[in-house]
Amino acid sequence: MALSTPLSQMSVALPIGIDGSSGSMIKVQSVSFTEKSCVPLLRLDTVSRKLSLKKRSTVCMSLQQQARRSKVSVTPLELEDPKETPLNLYRPKEPYTAKIVSVDRIVGPQAPGETCHIVIDHDGKVPYWEGQSYGVIPPGENPKKPGAPHNVRLYSIASTRYGDSFDGKTASLCVRRAQYYDPETGKEDPSKAGVCSNFLCNAKPGDKVQITGPSGKVMLLPEEDPKATHIMIATGTGVAPFRGYLRRMFMEDVPTFKFDGLAWLFLGVANSDSLLYDEEFSSYLKDYPENFRYDKALSREEKNKKGGKMYVQDKIEEYSDEIFKLLDDGAHIYFCGLKGMMPGIQDTLKRVAEERGESWEQKLSQLRKNKQWHVEVY
C-alpha cells in the first residue's frame, strides 16, 4: 500500500556525501519535502514488508530542495566584505613569518617525482582570494648574491580564503619537489635540487616559513554571475588554484556565493598515481553531476586518437565543439601549469578554429577583451 502521510509533511533521512580535508565521509541529513518536491514516491510492499522505489510514481520537487546538500560552514565571513583585492600585504624586504602546519605526500608510489600538499598557518594576517599566489623565501643565503637572502618563489594557493581548516587562518600550497638527475649517470645530483621546493617538502610541523604577497589578479574567480561556466585546464601542480575554486563552489557554505553554473576541469598528469586531489574532485562529480565535469589526461597510460600519448590538449580537442560553443556563450577559460603546456594547447585551438571557419587570432583577441581568457604558467 502507498504511504498515507502527505508528502508535504514527510521528512526523510538522506545520505549526503561531503569531502573534508582528511578524506571523505557520509553524513545523514534530514530533508523536509514541500509540495513541489521531485523524488521517487516510497511505497510499502505488504508482502515482503520492504520499502521499494516505484519509478512510475514520482512527484515534482523544487530545484532548491533538489540541490540542497550538506556543506561546510566557514568563518570569519568578514573575509567576504573587502571590495578590493588583497595585494602585496607583505613584500620580500619585510616578509611575514608563518608556520608549517602539515606536509603530506599526495601522489602514489608509481608517480614520477614527489608532490606534497603543504598547509601554512598565517594566523589570518595574510588574507588572500582564490586564484592568488604566495611568495616563499627559503632560508639560507643566495649563492649568486653573498649575504643576501634567496629570491622569492611564487606558488599558486591551493585553498580557498578560508583554508583547509575553514577558519581563515591557513593557506595550502601544492608543491612538486624539484630534483635533478645527471643525464649520463642517471643519478640524482642534490647540489642542483630546487632550493625552495625541497625546503617546503622537507619541512616539519612548527617550522617557520617566510611568505610574501598575496599577488596576482589574472586568475581571480569571477563571481558576479553564479550561473557562469568555468573551464579549467591544468597540468600537474597547476591544478592548485582550481582546487580553491572548486572547494568554494561545492564544499563551503558561503552565504554570498551560491554557485549554480558549470565547472569543467581538465587535468593532465603522467599516470593514475600522479593524479592530484582526485578523491576530492570525484566527490564533486558524484554530488553535483549537473554542475561539475572532470576529464583526465594520463600521458603514460592513455593514447590519443592518433595513437600517441594522451595530453591535456588531446582531451580539449575531443570536446572542442562543445568548448567553443561555451566560449561563444561567455564561458571563462583558465590555464595553469608549466609554460610548455601552452604551445600545444594553442595549436590545437587554432586548428579547431580554422576547421570551424574562424580566425583563432580574432577569437583570442575577443576572449581577452571580454576577460574570458586567464593564463598563469611558470
CA distance 199 to 118: 11
309 is in an annotated binding site: yes
- Whether the per-residue pLDDT at 211 is higher than 70: the answer is yes
List of long-range contacts for 300-307, beta carbons under 8 Å, 24+ apart: 300/270, 300/271, 301/271, 301/272
**pLDDT of 140:** 94
Residues in contact with 50: Cβ distance below 8 Å, sequence separation at least 6, in sequence order = none
The predicted-structure confidence for 52-106, as pLDDT tens digits, reads as follows 333 333 333 333 334 446 899 999 999 999 999 999 999 999 999 999 999 999 9
**pLDDT of 28:** 34
CA distance 374 to 221: 10
105 is in an annotated binding site: no
- One CATH from 3.40.50.10490, 3.40.50.150, 3.40.50.80, 3.20.20.10 for 227-375: 3.40.50.80
Q: Where are the domains of the chain?
A: 75-213, 227-375
Q: Give the pLDDT mean for 297-321.
A: 95
376 is in an annotated binding site: yes
The predicted-structure confidence for 33-44, as pLDDT tens digits, reads as follows 333 333 333 333
Tell which residue, 73, 84, 193, 90, has the closest CA to residue 129: 84
The x, y and z cell numbers of residue 314, run together, are 588531446
Largest CA distance in the chain: 86
Reading across the β-sheet that carries 96-105, which strands appear in turn? 153-156, 133-137, 208-215, 96-105, 115-121, 170-176
**pLDDT of 45:** 37
363 is in an annotated binding site: no
300 is in an annotated binding site: yes
CA distance 258 to 260: 6
Tell which residue, 184, 128, 180, has the closest CA to residue 158: 128
- Whether the per-residue pLDDT at 321 is higher than 90: the answer is yes
CA distance 153 to 138: 8
**pLDDT of 77:** 96
Question: What is the 3-class SS of 112-172, one letter each residue?
Answer: CCCEEEEEEECCCCCCCCCCCEEEEECCCECCCCCCCECCCEEEEECCCCCCCCCCCCEEE
Tell which residue, 175, 209, 164, 213, has the closest CA to residue 378: 175
CB-based contact 313:235 (threshold 8 Å): no
**pLDDT of 69:** 67
pTM metric for this prediction: 0.81
51 is in an annotated binding site: no
Residue 80: Cβ-neighbour burial (10 angstroms; 0-12, 13-18, 19+): middle
The catalytic site residues sit at 155-156, 336, 376, 378
CA 340 to chain centre: 21
CA distance 271 to 1: 52
354 is in an annotated binding site: no
Local structure of 233: helix, strand or coil: strand
75-213 has which fold? Answer: Elongation Factor Tu (Ef-tu); domain 3 (2.40.30)
The predicted-structure confidence for 186-202, as pLDDT tens digits, reads as follows 777 777 789 999 999 99
**pLDDT of 181:** 79
